[in-house]
Structure 1
Amino acid sequence: MLYSLYETGYYGSTPLRLGALLTREFWSSPLNPAKDSGVGRRLFAGADLFANLTRRYGRPDWGIDTVEIDGEPVRVRRNEVWRSPWVRLLHFSRSMADMRKAGRTSVEPPVLIVAPLSGHYATLLRGTVQTFLQNHEVFVTDWSNARDVPVLEGRFDFHDYIDHVREMLRVLGPRPHVVAVCQPGPPVLAAAALMAEDGEPSRPGTMTFMGSPIDARLSPTVTNKLAEERPFSWFASNMIYTVPAPYPGMGRRVYPGFVQLYSFMSMNLDRHQQAHMRYLEDLMKGDGDSAEKHLEFYDEYLSALDLTEEFYLQTVKNVFQDYLLPRGELAHRGRQVRPDKIRDIGLLTVEGENDDISGIGQTQAAHAICSQLPESLKEDYVQPHVGHYGVFNGRRFREEIYPRVTNFIRRFEARMDHRAAANAAE
């Protein structure tokens, strides 16, 4: 019912939104002699803010056409290399001709960046991808919006997520590297444990967990406490709604993106209100650069996707209420997940000092869980002065966190090359 009411509200506000758009165009037109007057700027700013607050935010574009590597522009082409109804595996392929101009002639280590399936689209990691393109062949999971997947395609749950990660690692070939950003931590670690136990050639070479709730019992945040305080039945009764027509997934039960977005914004409501007031003031002052930065951020932030009922509820239960993975009780398809079977996969954990989503220690818990992994293959890093978003994006990520991640991967690659050379000499 709530989903239908939400859609009704959106379509019902269309006349007002169209009126705001016309007002915005009128007061920004170069043919309007009063557009730079105080009244004109106020009317333009108010109309623009209303139009942006009431419009529909769709899947953002990646917008990665080139990256600069060693001072040289390198063209980037996005290719889909594998897909299911629930995800597209994207390869950001760099032009080899441009790479040679930049002095790069050898094949660089492949990295699978597993984007979170927790509300925002994978494009939230645009900056993460651009940074990793400096030294790696980059692959990214681009998850589907559940409302766009027909009911006939079946379910998608926590265990399907694990299977998808395993399948995508196989696509990358022998010993690829995997980076799990936030939510994917537990299922990615589970996938790695299963592949390690089976001795799969495509088990990860290294796994990097960034701000992930591996053990949500540690340093609980507001999000963790909510999951603990509410019974499981509350989430099932209050967070799940049916997709209405005309979406392809009509009839599917989902945790809607707009509900998630409300939860995100309510955690820092004052900050968002102040940001929109500053945006309004910037428009009235004619400060286009500051206003543009605001739009760039919120175009991404306000774009949210739906999660399937089964995936969302199982994640709440498995990760945030029963803590199955750190307690050694997670079973996948009737088989116990054994992180202690991981013996030759490098482990790097990264946390932010001010993370209010995944508290300090939640990601570090992976080291204790992987109890049989040699200390020489483990590394932990806590980045000072950053929150959750800063763990995988922004200046400190580019300048302080990413160098540690790529150097960790390079050390593993060198270790593997040394072993291969030793085996060849025998």
Structure 2
Amino acid sequence: MLYSAYELAYAAVAPARIAAGVGAKFWRSPMNPASGSWMARSTAAALDVFENVMRRYPKPEWGLDTTLVNGVSVPVRVEQVERKDFCTLIHFARDEKALKKAKGSNQADPAVLIVAPLSGHYATLLRGTVEAMLPEHDVYITDWTDARHVPLCAGRFDLNDYIDYLIDFMRTIGPGVHAMAVCQPGPALLSAAAVMADNGDICRPLSMTIMGSPIDARRSPTVPNKLSEERPYEWFEQNMIFTVPAPYAGAMRRVYPGFVQLYSFLAMNSDRHMNAHYDYFQHLVQGDGDSADKHRNFYDEYLSVLDMTEEFYLQTIRDVFQEHSLAKGTFKHRGRTVRPEAIMDIALMTVEGENDDISGIGQTQAAHDLCTNIPPKMQLDYIQPDVGHYGVFNGSRWRNEIQPKVADFIRMAEKEAVKRPAIRLAAE
């Protein structure tokens, strides 16, 4: 019922939202003789804020048309490499001729699969992550599908399916891929790598970089971690899961709605978001277009959300945040225990933010304790001072301090990879 009520409320407020948009344009119109007055600016700003708060935010565009390589602009084309019901493998293909000219050689850059989180936001939230990796890497990313658009006939999608998707995508990219899990998918990537290593899969990644992720959520528990443990599994099942209404393609599918997740995010930092919108109002009144644009760009991304399937959300709550099964060595994939100790030749880097209020210090580091057979020279643990969760993968600290270390680590893993027979033969 909540989902239907949400849709009805959105429809009910539509006339007021449209009227607000028209009103804002009227008060700003150069044809309006009062447009330069304080009253007109304030009224237009208030209507603009109302319209932005009440509207629905569609999936954002990537907007990555070029990248700079050695100071040369190289065109980038976003390609769909493999499309599945619940995810599409995206490739940011750089123009080969321009890339060769910029680099002065045909030497291939390392292929990197960025595993985007399936936690309420679209993969475009990692635009800054992709942008920083593009100059020196051949970048792929998992673009997760909004579950409300997936018909019931497509079947279920749970954490085990998620792991299978990652394995399939790494096989599609081929031997020599590097994998980077940002936030929530750390346990899934670690599990996929362990399964591939256990099977001797030649497409297992050369390296894993796991960033701000709940590998072991018992360490330095944060507010979301404590909430997941304090509430019984049945509470999440009864209070967080709703049915997609018509006319969506996924009508009757049981999901954890994106708008519920969004309200949870907003509630965690309500004062910050209220102040941000008040500042936005002031910027509009003052005519500070640059600051207003920054606000709009951020919230166009932040307020754009997707639904998760019931089975994926609940299994993640149970296995990752309540039972901590991967950390305890009891997690099973398709009936087989996942063994991180089977990983011997996949380099492992973990990155954490000092002020992360989502995944506390030590939760990501736990991956090193589980992967007991990776040589020490192929492991790196890094804590970035003075950044929170978002700063681990976006912003100036990511671009200037974290990403260069990730790039160096990937190069190190490339050198170590020549010891793998399959990689060595391919290179020869």
Length-normalised TM-score, structure 1: 0.98
Unmatched 5+ stretches in structure 2: none
Deviations 1:294-335 (A, max 9, x none): 000000000010000000000000000000001000011110
Distance 1:303 1:43, change over 3 A: same
The percent of aligned pairs where both chains have the same amino acid is: 57
Instruction: State the shift of 1:370 in Å.
Output: 0.4
Alpha-carbon distance in 1 for matches of 2:56, 2:84: 26
Alpha-carbon distance in 1 for matches of 2:161, 2:418: 34
SS at 2:328 equivalent = coil
What's 1:148 paired with?
149
Matched residue type, 1:405: V
What's 2:34 paired with?
34
What's 1:133 paired with?
134
Alpha-carbon distance in 2 for matches of 1:98, 1:213: 40
| Greater Cα offset, 413-422 or 272-281 | 413-422
Distance 1:422 1:300, change over 3 A: closer
Is the contact between residue 212 and residue 359 of structure 2 (CA under 8 Å) also seen in structure 1?
yes
- Give the CA RMSD over aligned residues: 1.5
SS at 1:6 equivalent = helix
Instruction: State the shift of 1:415 in Å.
Output: 2.4
Instruction: State the shift of 1:414 in Å.
Output: 1.9
Is the contact between residue 17 and residue 54 of structure 2 (CA under 8 Å) also seen in structure 1?
yes
Is the contact between residue 206 and residue 417 of structure 2 (CA under 8 Å) also seen in structure 1?
no
SS at 1:74 equivalent = strand
Instruction: State the shift of 1:104 in Å.
Output: 4.7
Instruction: State the shift of 1:97 in Å.
Output: 1.6
SS at 1:13 equivalent = helix
Is the contact between residue 69 and residue 103 of structure 2 (CA under 8 Å) also seen in structure 1?
no
Deviations 1:169-200 (A, max 9, x none): 00111031000000000011000000001110
Pairing of 1:215-254 with structure 2 (within 5 A): 215-254=216-255
SS at 2:59 equivalent = coil
Number of positions where the alignment pairs a residue of Structure 1 with one of Structure 2:
426
SS at 1:76 equivalent = strand
What's 1:298 paired with?
299
Instruction: State the shift of 1:418 in Å.
Output: 6.8
What's 1:8 paired with?
8
Deviations 1:64-84 (A, max 9, x none): 101112111110001101110
What's 1:360 paired with?
361
Instruction: State the shift of 1:419 in Å.
Output: 6.8
Alpha-carbon distance in 1 for matches of 2:34, 2:49: 20
Alpha-carbon distance in 2 for matches of 1:422, 1:342: 19
What's 1:22 paired with?
22
SS at 1:218 equivalent = coil
Deviations 1:26-78 (A, max 9, x none): 11222222211101101100110000000011101111101112111110001
What's 2:212 paired with?
211
SS at 1:204 equivalent = coil
Alpha-carbon distance in 1 for matches of 2:57, 2:166: 28
Alpha-carbon distance in 2 for matches of 1:312, 1:190: 17
Deviations 1:250-308 (A, max 9, x none): 00000000000000010000000000000001001111110000000000000010000
Matched residue type, 1:85: D
Instruction: State the shift of 1:387 in Å.
Output: 0.3
Instruction: State the shift of 1:133 in Å.
Output: 0.3
What's 1:88 paired with?
88
Unmatched 5+ stretches in structure 1: none
What's 1:52 paired with?
52
Alpha-carbon distance in 1 for matches of 2:68, 2:211: 25
Matched residue type, 2:320: V
Is the contact between residue 255 and residue 310 of structure 2 (CA under 8 Å) also seen in structure 1?
yes
